[in-house]
Amino acid sequence: MGKPTGFIEFSRVAPEKRQPEKRVKDYNEFVARLPDQQLNQQAARCMNCGVPFCHSGCPLGNIIPEFNDAVYRQNWREAYEILSATNNFPEFTGRICPAPCESACVLGINQSPVAIEEIEKHIIEIAFDKGFVVPKKINLRTGKKVAVVGSGPAGLAAAAQLNYAGHEVTVFERDDQPGGLLRYGIPDFKLEKWVVERRITLMKEEGIIFRCNANVGVNTSISDLLRGFHSIVLAGGSTIPRDLDIPGRQLKGVHFAMDFLKQQNKRVSNTAAGNTEEIKATGKQVVVIGGGDTGSDCVGTSNRQGAVSVTQFELLPKPPEKRTAYMPWPTYPMTLKTSSSHEEGVERNWAVVTKAFLGDETGHLTALRIADLEWTCGSDGRPAQFAERPGSERTIPCQQVFLAMGFLHPQHDGLINELGISLDERGNVKADEQFFQTSIPKIFTAGDMRRGQSLVVWAISEGRECARKVDEFLMGSSLLESKELSC
Ligand code: SF4
């Protein structure tokens, strides 16, 4: 299987990227595809491990050694079939997944891990190029109707799987176009929207109905859904952002990250932004508070809009560059994470607390009051407690702040409150990870709405697993693929 000496002969090679100073002039993707021969060599690095930790490291349970082998043999159809058996949307995960499979790759013990994400992206794009990806014909319809509320990655995955099971699926999306976070959260420079549109078109051709501008609980009746559908899947995501309740929060120039990103995504796609205040970083000193993916998307977008400077604050201390003794393989390391947006220009600061937003007499933000933190670690070596470093408080100029400190839980107003559905202690919709069933038996939930803010790959995984449980609920058993079955 594969090339037994591949990992000795070939080093990991990354695809070329457009230079940061050039790519910040537009919103297009900037990562090239590896030439076929190089990709073949990258796949040859896979050792076909007896215990492939990559497989269990992937939330979807992707059968990675097998598709690596097929790529090595240049059997693209076989590679596509293996990959698509466990992943409905490799074109999304191949672009935006932080690749926990690569963190778990055994080769990573003393070399760079296999370039699994790049291989995945290549397989699906070749599959589209060669015409392997065609609408699946659904031979048998069950007569059961399922409503999916939310068209982000969890909703789309659930809808695709339930449709394959023969149910009639309608997806309700409160925005003007389907895709949720994929469409209006993630910037085009990471995921161009024709990629999302290509998949939605395919799903429509397979028979899934999309109803946009349909905000269930606001302009679309919940009782109609309860009456008209045999089952409902709630996949509305985790949408309430964590706020920073400090003096000056009301000043003009302090915005939630997602409001900023959504506006720019709409601008790029020439979609009306609606009656919202224009948020732009152009000509401003920008501070992004929060060091995660959403924060880095704000960094990349601010640079593209022509910010004078971009600074990013993280409350936690700077993680180590590499794994330490406290992070033994194959556990997921908390190592320094650098996104492509950081290559484009940002000053990153760790262990910083923002104490106040300062403004002028017109109510506009002009500066931040910040201080450094000193962290102490717990017995496991992880940061546990902090205290402000005496004498470190200072003021820095800033006209635009983006709050990117994560999300608390789904929106409760409307749908959730009207249903009276049970919530967990964090405010997410309560449902067991094995069964995905809520306190109302015909209603299921998946993705961030159930597990809280997480990765797109987890949302797809939850959508797939949830679909199987809905299918069992409706039919008594299910032939849909399950991660549990592939392990
Ligand atoms: Fe290949 Fe890495 Fe998976 Fe081993 S862990 S099978 S080397 S991809």
Question: Ligand 1 in contact with 64 (CB < 6 A)?
Answer: yes
**312 and 225 within one domain:** no
pLDDT tens-digit readout, 221-264: 999 999 999 999 999 999 999 999 999 999 999 999 999 999 99
Entry pTM: 0.94
Q: Which of 53, 54, 71 most suits a substitution to test ligand 1, by most atoms within 8 Å of the C-beta?
A: 54
pLDDT tens-digit readout, 24-69: 999 999 999 999 889 999 999 999 999 999 999 999 999 999 999 9
Query: For residue 139, is it within any domain?
Result: no
**Can you give the CATH number for the domain in which 89 is found?**
1.10.1060.10
Q: How far, in Å, from the CA of 2 to the mean position of ligand 1?
A: 11
Question: Ligand 1 in contact with 114 (CB < 6 A)?
Answer: yes
**301 and 207 within one domain:** no
**CB contact burial 75-87 (16+ within 10 A = b; e otherwise):** ebebbbbbbbbbb
Atom 1 (ligand 1): residue with closest C-alpha?
46
Question: Ligand 1 in contact with 105 (CB < 6 A)?
Answer: yes
How wide is the angle at C-alpha 91 spanned by C-alphas 37 and 445, nearest 5°? 150
Question: Ligand 1 in contact with 53 (CB < 6 A)?
Answer: yes
**What is the number of the ligand 1 atom nearest to the C-alpha of 104?**
5
**89 and 204 within one domain:** no
Q: Which residues pair with 374 in a beta bridge?
A: 387
**Close Cβ partners of 307 (under 8 Å, ≥ 6 residues apart):** 281, 282, 283, 284, 285, 286, 400
Positions in the chain short of pLDDT 70: 1, 273-275, 321-336, 484-487
**CB contact burial 316-341 (16+ within 10 A = b; e otherwise):** eeebeeeeeeebeebeebbeeeebbb
Q: What is the domain extent for residue 113?
A: 6-129
**167 and 54 within one domain:** no
Asked whether the beta carbons of 356 and 368 are under 8 A apart, the reply is yes
**What is the number of the ligand 1 atom nearest to the C-alpha of 116?**
8
Question: Ligand 1 in contact with 456 (CB < 6 A)?
Answer: no
User: Can you point out the beta strands (E) in 73-224?
Assistant: 145-149, 168-172, 209-211
Which residue in the block uniquely carries the two structure tokens 């102490």?
376
**398 and 415 within one domain:** no
Q: How far, in Å, from the CA of 203 to the mean position of ligand 1?
A: 32
Tokens of 196: 């999302």
245 three-state secondary structure:
coil
Asked which of 381, 405, 429 is the last residue of a domain, the reply is: 405
**74 and 95 within one domain:** yes
Which DSSP symbol is given to 317? P
**What's the structural domain count of the chain?**
3
**435 and 452 within one domain:** yes
Amino acid at 94: G
Question: Ligand 1 in contact with 142 (CB < 6 A)?
Answer: no
384 three-state secondary structure:
strand
Asked whether the beta carbons of 247 and 263 are under 8 A apart, the reply is no
**394 and 254 within one domain:** yes
Query: For residue 140, is it within any domain?
Result: no
**Close Cβ partners of 464 (under 8 Å, ≥ 6 residues apart):** 60, 88, 157, 158, 161, 480, 481, 482, 483
Task: Look at residue 43 in the predicted model and tell me its pLDDT.
Answer: 96
Atom 5 (ligand 1): residue with closest C-alpha?
105
Asked whether the beta carbons of 369 and 358 are under 8 A apart, the reply is yes
Q: How far, in Å, from the CA of 116 to the mean position of ligand 1?
A: 9
**289 and 399 within one domain:** yes
How wide is the angle at C-alpha 92 spanned by C-alphas 481 and 264, nearest 5°? 145
- If one counts every other C-beta atom within 10 angstroms of the C-beta of residue 385, the result is 10
**Close Cβ partners of 390 (under 8 Å, ≥ 6 residues apart):** none
**192 and 256 within one domain:** no
Which residue in the block uniquely carries the two structure tokens 């109803």?
211
Tokens of 104: 């778990």
**412 and 398 within one domain:** no
Asked which of 345, 371, 405 is the last residue of a domain, the reply is: 405
**What is the number of the ligand 1 atom nearest to the C-alpha of 113?**
2
Question: Ligand 1 in contact with 49 (CB < 6 A)?
Answer: yes
**Can you give the CATH number for the domain in which 232 is found?**
3.50.50.60
Q: Which of 62, 112, 114, 119 most suits a substitution to test ligand 1, by most atoms within 8 Å of the C-beta?
A: 114
Query: What phi, psi does 255 have (nearest 5°)?
Result: -135, 155
Q: Which of 47, 66, 119 most suits a substitution to test ligand 1, by most atoms within 8 Å of the C-beta?
A: 47
Question: Ligand 1 in contact with 43 (CB < 6 A)?
Answer: no
Question: Ligand 1 in contact with 48 (CB < 6 A)?
Answer: yes
Question: Ligand 1 in contact with 63 (CB < 6 A)?
Answer: no
**195 and 61 within one domain:** no
pLDDT tens-digit readout, 324-346: 544 444 344 456 677 889 999 99
Q: How far, in Å, from the CA of 466 to the mean position of ligand 1?
A: 28
Kindly provide the ipTM of the predicted complex, given to two decimals. 0.98
- If one counts every other C-beta atom within 10 angstroms of the C-beta of residue 312, the result is 25
Atom 4 (ligand 1): residue with closest C-alpha?
49
Nearest alpha-carbon partner for 382 in 331, 314, 337, 326: 326
Could you give the CA distance from residue 374 to residue 386 in angstroms, rounded to a whole number?
5
Task: Look at residue 481 in the predicted model and tell me its pLDDT.
Answer: 84
Structural element, H or E, at residue 7: helix 6-9
Could you give the CA distance from residue 399 to residue 286 in angstroms, rounded to a whole number?
6
Task: Look at residue 245 in the predicted model and tell me its pLDDT.
Answer: 97
Task: Look at residue 331 in the predicted model and tell me its pLDDT.
Answer: 40
Which DSSP symbol is given to 236? -
Query: For residue 135, is it within any domain?
Result: no
Task: Look at residue 81 in the predicted model and tell me its pLDDT.
Answer: 97
How do 352-359 and 365-377 pair as beta strands? antiparallel
